[in-house]
Amino acid sequence: MTQPYTGGCACGAIRYSTPHAPIFQNHCQCSDCRRRSGTGHGSYLTFPARAEMAITGEATEWEIAADSGQQKSHAFCPVCGTPLFVRFSGMPELIAVHAGSLDEPERFAPQVLTYRVRGLAWDALDPALQAFERMPTA
C-alpha cells in the first residue's frame, strides 16, 4: 500500500489527499505551463481515479485549450492563488497536481519532459529525462 499523497495551497484553505500512487510524473514546457508557472515549465504528478481524491475547500477553476487542442481545467486557491491541480476533458478519470503543492515535494520523481518543442534555452532540465516533443501517447 502506498503512503497517501497529500498537499494543498499555501494558506491552508484547500487540501487534497489520494491513496493512489501517481501514474505519470513530468515536467512540461508547453506555453500554457510556462505562463502559469511564471518559469520555463510546470511540474506535475498525475493520479488515476480522480473521484477518489479527497479535496476540501473550494478551488476556483478556469479552462483553456491546451497545445494538444484538448480542454484543460486549472484549479487554484481563490485566497492565496496557489495553483493546485489540472483536469483534462479527454481523460476525465485523471487529475494532475502541481508538484510544489505536495506536503512532501521530495516525493516528486519526474519521469519525462513533455512539450520540449516549446522549451526555452534557459530552462535547463535533467538531460537524463526522456524528452518528448509533445505529449506522448499510450
Q: Structural domains in the chain?
A: 5-119 (2.170.150.70)
Segment 60-113, tens digit of pLDDT: 999 988 777 788 899 999 999 999 999 988 889 999 999 999 999 999 999 998
Give the DSSP letter string of 64-85: EE-TTS-EEEEEE-TTT--EEE
* Predicted pLDDT of residue 135: 74
pLDDT confidence of 131, banded at 50, 70, 90? Answer: confident
Q: Identify the residue with better confidence: 52 or 136.
A: 52
Residues 5-26 pLDDT 10s:
999 999 999 999 999 999 999 9
Q: What is the mean pLDDT of residues 28-49?
A: 88
Cβ-in-10-Å burial (0-12, 13-18, 19+) of 20 comes to middle
Single pTM value for the model: 0.89
**Band of pLDDT at residue 114, cut at 50, 70 and 90:** confident
